[in-house]
Amino acid sequence: MELYDLTIHELHGKLKMREVSSVEATQACLERIGAVEEKVHAFITVTSEEALKGAAQADLRIAAGDMDILTGIPVALKDIFLTKGTLTTCGSRILDNFIPPYDATSWLKLKERGAVLLGKLNQDEFAMGSSCESSHFGPTRNPWDLERIPGGSSGGSAAAIAARQAIATLGTDTGGSIRQPASHCGCVGLKPTYGRVSRYGVIAYASSLDQVGPVARDVTDCAIMLGAVAGYDPADSTSVNIPVPDYAKALAIDVKGLKIGLPKECFISGLDPDVQKAMDEAIAVYKGLGAEFVEISLPTLDYAVAAYYLIATAEASSNLARYDGVRFGHRTETAQGLIDMYKKSRAEGFGTEVKRRIMLGTYALSSGYYDAYYLKAQKVRTLIMHDFLSAFEKVDIILTPVAPTPAFKIGEKINDPLQMYLSDIFTIPVNLAGTCAISAPAGFSGEGLPIGMQLIGRPFGEETIIRAAYTFEQATEWHKRKADI
Amino acid sequence: MKITREEVEKVALLARLDLTEVEKDIFTGQMDAILAYVDKLNELDTSGVIPTAHAVPMENAFRDDEERPSIGVDNALANAPERADGFYRVPKVIE
């Protein structure tokens, strides 16, 4: 067991007992990054010097007895989080020179607790993608099979955990961008309820759906990270002002009598046989632990992807209007006047997937099409929310696969956007409903690829899904397997 | 066809995107396929359904109108592609 293999809670124990220093742990992670990064490419920027400085400061805090569970823990952030003074690209050429003048609230909260920043992680450009292939800085590879995608958009956040380059990471999830990569890389990923975590300083994609959350080695680490970043922020008026529970208390082995819903629409023929097998086995484990299963129906599930690709692209077309070459980011060198400067700067700065989504969103919002597309999608969103609310009258949580298949091959879906979009069919409805869900390791395919299960909770029901995932984790060994890299 | 090449050109202008001829061709086909797919939303009867803009019901968030420090001109201009005399500099707007 190397220092970079540890969980937050294990490393915290060693730091507290003075068995190791934060500088040693940080050095170990930086050396590990040096050793495997050429294969994985999880990072856009590695901040070695600042990391060692931060670690030395953390060691002083620990020596002074001023210690939090995150003090001295080396972490990394998706490159969508603004980090004051450190390059923040969002995976895009249009921001390839952007140095933020302030910190995202979620990073500030980790920093104040003494967490150490190792660097900024690769992602699909502007978080638009399910494979991490749309990054301007090149694709991240899945540590379990370097020919395969790590998932996306927070592909770097999951790959860095699976390759043991960081102890824990933060990602963002708009349609599955934390849960799907966590599933494909054998990590635990949690998408909190909309409003649970501040998005201040997080580069916006689709503002009614975006949410910040952790990717980590186990459920305990996820609970620790969520507790650190959750809470109301006056700087984000969409964050909700309700108290943050002590998520550590939810780490209990207890699913007796827990009612788990199985949506019949998710367990259709055509589901990958390995994924089906992993879900069947997970259900058997829960039954053995005393949970009860109830068949439920989410009749509008089949419409979620269509609604999502209108709502998300419409919001993106508006959010990304700010990249115009005036105040920050890339500006063309060949402009003939102002409008031409906008058009060329954006054409040069954005990649194909971002352009495609801006085009779709602009179309859906344009005169004559607004009612038929955008408004219709928002109405369908209401129906999807109602489906979930009715289901939660009968059950405590809902179990589904995270993705219909294990990680696919790099290049396999890049030229067929619709097929790529459909790989998010089980995760997208959760964002539309605004509720919370966790992705946890639940098995492996015949080819040795990780398979995750998704547990969906009620709005602000993070404690219940954490408890259910923790109980499963303590009864299984899936999360202990390591990618051979 | 759900969308024509001419409409794609019009949308590109609205979105301030200078697309190449090849991009226009590819996007016309891909947007056509995606728009045909999203048409399945019309299978659902949404008459009388209230549209949802946000998952969490929220009212306006007010705060007291107090003076607070800002990031300042130098920080605000630090990432500007071009600046002059404490302002952003852009190509001539009016001929």
Quote the radius of gyration of chain A (alpha carbons, Å). 21
Query: Annotated catalytic, A153?
Result: yes
Same domain? A352 vs A470: no
Considering its fold, how many domains does chain A have in total? 2
Same domain assignment for residues A224 and A326: no
Q: Does a structural domain hold residue A378? A: no
- CA–CA–CA angle A96, A213, A319 (5° rounding): 45
Which among B11, B51, B54 has CB closest to A359? Answer: B11
pLDDT of amino acid A269: 67
Chain B, 12 to 51: residues with Cβ < 8 Å from chain A are 12-19, 23, 27, 30-31, 33-35, 37-38, 40-44, 46, 49-51
Sign of CA dihedral A57, A60, A65, A69: positive
Query: What pLDDT was estimated at residue B95?
Result: 67
Question: Is the reported ipTM for this assembly greater than 0.90?
Answer: yes
- Among A271, A279, A287, A353, which Cα is nearest to A320's? A353
Distance CA A171, CA A214 (A): 6
Q: Mean pLDDT in runs of 10 for chain A (485 residues)?
A: 97 98 98 98 98 98 97 98 98 98 98 98 97 97 98 98 98 98 98 98 97 98 98 95 96 97 86 95 98 97 96 98 97 94 98 97 94 96 97 98 96 88 93 98 98 98 98 97 95
In-domain check, residue A72 = yes
pLDDT of residue A346: 98
CB contacts, 8 Å: B51 with chain A: 375, 378-379, 381-382
Task: Say if residue A87 is in the same domain as residue A147.
Answer: yes
Instruction: Report how far apart the first and last C-alpha atoms of chain B are (Å, whole number).
Output: 40
C-beta atoms surrounding B87 within 10 Å: 11
Place of tokens 């494909």: A184
The rounded distance, in Å, linking the Cα atoms of A350 and B92 is: 24
Q: Are residues A251 and A307 in the same domain?
A: no
- What's the pLDDT score for residue A179? 98
The pLDDT assigned to B59 comes to 75
Which of B16, B19, B74 to mutate to probe the A interface, most A CBs <10 Å?
B16
Q: What is the pLDDT of residue B63?
A: 85
Q: Is residue A236 domain-shared with residue A325, that is, in the same domain?
A: no
Q: How far is B2 from chain A (nearest CA, A)?
A: 11
Mark whether A277 is an active-site residue: no
pLDDT of the residue at A267: 84
Q: With CB atoms and an 8 Å threshold, state whether B49 touches A383.
A: yes
Is A405 contained in some domain?
no
pLDDT of res. B89: 95
Closest CA to A135 of A421, A414, A467, A435: A414
Which of B19, B44, B65, B73 is the mutation pick for testing A, counting most A CBs within 10 A?
B44
Whether residue A425 is contained in a domain is answered as no
Nearest-CA distance from A42 to chain B in Å?
26
- Residue B45's identity, in one-letter code, is D
Say what the pTM is.
Answer: 0.97
Last-in-domain residue among A363, A386, A412? A363
Per-residue pLDDT reduced to its tens digit, A362-409: 999 998 999 999 999 999 999 999 999 999 999 999 999 999 999 999
Q: Are residues A114 and A216 in the same domain?
A: yes
A474 and A327 housed in the same domain = no
Whichever domain contains A171, its CATH number is: 3.90.1300.10
- Model pLDDT, residue A13: 98
Do A110 and A200 fall into the same domain?
yes
Cβ contact A373–B93 (<8 Å)? no
Q: How far is A338 from chain B (nearest CA, A)?
A: 5
Separation CA A242–CA A233 (nearest Å): 11
Domain-located, residue A394:
no
- Structural domain including A198 reads 3-256+458-480
Q: Does residue A318 lie in a domain region?
A: yes
Q: Please list every residue in chain A whose beta carbon sits closer than 8 Å to the beta carbon of residue B75.
A: 101
Catalytic annotation, pick one of A78, A109, A344, A413: A78
Q: What percent of chain B has pLDDT over 90?
A: 78
Same domain for A246 and A119?
A: yes
Nearest CA in chain B to A306: B38
Q: Could you tell me if residue A309 is inside a domain?
A: yes
Domain end position, chosen among A311, A332, A363: A363
pLDDT of residue A451: 98
Say yes or no for a CB contact (<8 Å) between B80 and A432.
no
Which positions in chain A touch B88 (Cβ < 8 Å)?
A: 326-327
Q: Which domains does chain B have, with CATH numbers?
A: 5-43 (1.10.20)
User: Does the CB of B1 have a partner CB in chain A at under 8 Å?
Assistant: no
DSSP B34-92: HHHHHGGGGGS--TTPPP-S-SS---------------HHHHHHTT-SSEETTEE--S-
Same domain, A340 and A243: no
Residue of A nearest to B89 (CA): A326
| Band (B57; pLDDT cuts 50, 70, 90) | confident
Same domain, A245 and A345: no
Q: Is-catalytic flag, A131?
A: no
- For residue A203 the two structure tokens come to 């580069």
Is the previous residue joined to A153 through a cis bond, with omega within 30 degrees of 0?
yes
pLDDT score for A122: 98
Residue A422 lies in a domain: no
- Picking from A93, A128, A92, A153, the residue whose alpha carbon sits closest to that of residue A312 is A128
Same domain, A128 and A198: yes
Chain B: closest CA distance from residue A352 (Å): 8
Assess B90–A contact: CB distance below 8 Å, yes or no: yes
**Catalytic residue of the set A22, A130, A134, A153:** A153
A315 → chain B, closest CA residue: B53
Read off the pLDDT of each residue in B78-83 and give the average, rounded to a whole number. 97
**Residue at which a domain ends, from A363, A379, A395:** A363
